[in-house]
A and B are shown apart, each in its own frame.
Chain A
Amino acid sequence: MYAIEARGLRKEFSGGVKAVDGIDLQVNEGEIFGLLGPNGAGKTTTIRMFATMTKPTSGQALLCGTDVTKDPDRVRRCIGIVFQDPALDDQLTGKENLDFHARMYGMPKKEREERIKEVLDIVELSDRANDLVEKYSGGMKRRLEIARGLMHRPKVLFLDEPTIGLDAQTRRVIWEHILKLNKAYRITIILTTHYMEEADFLCQRVAIVDHGKILALDTPGNLKNSMGGDVITLKVSDSEKMAKLMKPLKGAANIKVHDGSVSVALSHGSTKIPELFRLAENGGVTIESVDLHKPTLEDVFIHFTGKHIREQEANAGDRFRERARAMHRR
Chain B
Amino acid sequence: MGANLNAIYIIWLREMKKFVRNKSRLLGNLAMPFFFLAFLGMGFNSLGMSGLPNGVSYLDFLAPGIVAMTVLFSSMFAGISILWDRQFGFLKEIMVAPVSRTTIVIGRIFAGMTTGIIQALVILGISILMGVKVASVVGVLFSVVFIILIAMSFVGLGISFASKMEDMHGFQLIMNFLIMPTFMLSGALFPLDKLPAWLGALSYVNPLTYGVDGLRSLITGVSHFPVLLDLGVLSGFCLAMILLARYLFNRTEV
Residues of A within 8 A of B (CB): 51-54, 73-74, 76-77, 81, 83, 85-92, 96, 99-101, 103-106, 148
- Which residues of the other chain, A, contact B98 by a CB distance below 8 angstroms? 73-74, 76-77, 104-106
A85: min CB distance to chain B, Å: 5
Q: Are B92 and A99 in contact (CB under 8 A)?
A: no
**Contact status of A104 and B21, CB under 8 A, knowing A53-B95, A83-B92:** no
B7, A103: Cβ atoms closer than 8 Å: yes
Contacts of B7 in A (CB 8 A): 103-104, 106
The one of B2, B6, B9, B17 in contact with A92, judged by C-beta atoms closer than 8 angstroms, is: B17
Residue of B nearest to A104 (CB): B97
Say yes or no for B10: interface residue by CB 8 A criterion.
yes
B50 within 8 A of A: no
Let me know if B92 and A89 touch, CB within 8 A: no
- Alpha-carbon distance A54/B97, docked complex (angstroms): 14
Report A-chain residues with C-beta under 8 Å of the C-beta of B92.
53, 83, 87
Interface of chain B residues 18 through 39 with chain A (CB within 8 A): 18, 21-22
Q: Give a binary string over B93-132; 1 marks a CB under 8 Å from any A CB, 0 the rest.
A: 1111111000000000000000000000000000000000
In the bound complex, CA of A116 to CA of B96 (Å) = 19
Please name all residues of chain A whose beta carbon is closer than 8 Å to the beta carbon of B2 when the two chains form the complex. Answer: 106
Q: Cα distance A88–B89 when bound, in Å?
A: 7
Residue of A at shortest CB range from B6? A103
Say yes or no: A103 contacts B10, CB within 8 Å: yes
**Dominant SS at the B interface?**
helix
The CA-CA distance from A90 to B9 in the complex, in Å, is 20
Tell me if B18 and A91 are in contact (CB < 8 A): yes
Q: Does B177 contact A (CB under 8 A)?
A: no
CA distance A148 to B85 in the complex (A): 17
Least distance between A54 CB and chain B CB atoms (Å): 7
Q: Cβ of B233 < 8 Å from any Cβ of A?
A: no
List 29 A–B pairs whose Cβ atoms lie within 8 Å, in order of A's numbering: A53-B92, A53-B96, A53-B253, A73-B98, A76-B98, A83-B89, A83-B93, A86-B89, A87-B90, A87-B92, A88-B89, A88-B90, A88-B93, A91-B17, A91-B18, A91-B21, A91-B22, A92-B14, A96-B14, A101-B93, A103-B6, A103-B9, A104-B98, A105-B3, A105-B97, A106-B2, A106-B3, A106-B98, A148-B93
- Interface assignment of B88: CB less than 8 Å from any CB of chain A: yes
Residue of B nearest to A107 (CB): B6
Q: Which residue of A lies closest to B10 (CB)?
A: A103
Contact check, A76 vs B96: say whether CB atoms are below 8 A apart: yes
Whole-angstrom distance between the alpha carbons of A122 and B6 in the complex? 26
Closest approach, in angstroms, between the C-beta of A57 and any C-beta of chain B?
15
For the complex, what is the distance from the CA of A231 to the CA of B18, rounded to whole Å? Answer: 57
Q: Give the CA-CA distance A157 to B253 in the complex, in Å.
A: 22
Residues of chain A within 8 A (CB-CB) of B18 are: 91-92
What's the Cα separation between A99 and B9 when bound, in Å?
Answer: 12
Q: How far is the CA of A101 from the CA of B98 in the complex (A)?
A: 10
Report chain A residues within 8 Å CB of B96. 51-53, 76, 81
User: In the complex, which of the residues A77, A87, A90, A91 contacts B93, with contact meaning CB atoms closer than 8 Å?
Assistant: A87
Contact B88 A90 (CB under 8 A): yes
Q: Does B254 contact A (CB under 8 A)?
A: yes
Distance of A68 Cα from B92 Cα, bound (Å): 17
Q: How far is the CA of A147 from the CA of B97 in the complex (A)?
A: 15
Are B254 and A53 closer than 8 Å at their CB atoms? yes
Q: 8 tightest CB-CB pairs across the interface, nearest first?
A: A106-B3, A87-B89, A104-B97, A103-B10, A76-B98, A73-B98, A87-B93, A87-B92
Q: Given the complex of chains A and B, what is the CA–CA distance between A148 and B93 in angstroms?
A: 10
Neighbour of A101 across the interface among B22, B95, B97, CB < 8 A: B97
In whole Å, how far is B167's beta carbon from the nearest beta carbon of chain A? 14
Q: Determine the residue in chain B with the shortest Cβ distance to A158.
A: B96
Q: In whole angstroms, how far apart are the Cα atoms of A81 and B93 in the complex?
A: 9
Shortest B4–chain A CB gap in Å is 8
Known: A52-B96, A53-B92. 9 other contacts (CB 8 A): A53-B253, A77-B98, A81-B96, A85-B89, A92-B17, A104-B7, A104-B98, A106-B6, A106-B7
**How far apart are the CA atoms of A81 and B90 in the complex, in Å?**
13
* Complexed CA–CA distance, A83 and B90 (Å): 10
Interface centre among A52, A73, A101, A106, by most chain B C-beta atoms within 10 angstroms, is A106
Closest to B4 in A: A106
A100 touching B95, Cβ below 8 Å: no
- Report the minimum CB–CB distance from B128 to chain A (whole Å): 33
Q: Mark B186-214, 1 if CB is under 8 A from A, else 0.
A: 00000000000000000000000000000
* B97 and A89 within 8 A (CB): no
Quote the shortest CB–CB distance from B90 to chain A (angstroms).
Answer: 5
Pairwise interchain contact B10-A100, C-beta atoms closer than 8 A: yes
Q: Which B residues are in CB contact (< 8 Å) with A77? A: 98
